[in-house]
Amino acid sequence: MKMKNVSRLLAIFFMLTVFCVVGFAQKPAKWVAPDKYKTMKNTNASDVSTGKDLYAKHCRSCHGKDGLGDGPKAATLGVSCGDFTAAAFQSQTDGEIFYKITTGRDKMPAFGKTITEDSERWALVNYLRKLK
C-alpha cells in the first residue's frame, strides 16, 4: 500500500473514532414540553386509581414498581428511564407530564396512541404525583 493511502485511512479512522467518542459522550437533549402544555390544567385531578392501574399495565416494566426507573426492562433499553420520585420530575407541571406521556420520545412510547382518553392520561399524571 502506498504511504498516501495509509495516511488517508489513518485520517479517516481517527475522524470516525473522534465522532463516535464525542457522539456517545453527549448527554441526551433535555425533554422540554411546548409552552401550551406547561400551563395546561388537569381536567381529571381526582382520579388516582385509574392511573395506578394504567401504570401497572403500561409503565411499571420500565419505570419500576415505585417509579425509580428500575423496572425489569430498564436495563435492556440503554437509556435512563428516569426517577418519578425525583424533585426534577415532580417540579414539572401536570401539563408537562401529560405531554410527555402523550407524545413519548426515543424509547418511551407515545401513549396517546394506546391510552386514547385524555382523562386516563390525566389519571396517570395523578398517580405519578403520588410517587414522590
24-60 residue pLDDT tens: 445 568 999 999 999 999 999 999 999 999 999 999 9
Helix, strand or coil, per DSSP, at residue 63: helix
The pLDDT of residue 29: 82
Instruction: Give the integer Cα–Cα distance in Å for 106 and 63.
Output: 15
99-112 residue pLDDT tens: 999 999 999 999 99
Instruction: Give the integer Cα–Cα distance in Å for 112 and 103.
Output: 6
* Cα dihedral 32, 102, 35, 78 in deg (nearest 10): 0
Residue 53, number of CB atoms within 10 A of its CB: 14
All domains in the chain, ordered by first residue: 30-129 (1.10.760.10)
65-94 residue pLDDT tens: 999 999 999 999 999 999 999 999 999 999
Q: What is the pTM of this model?
A: 0.78
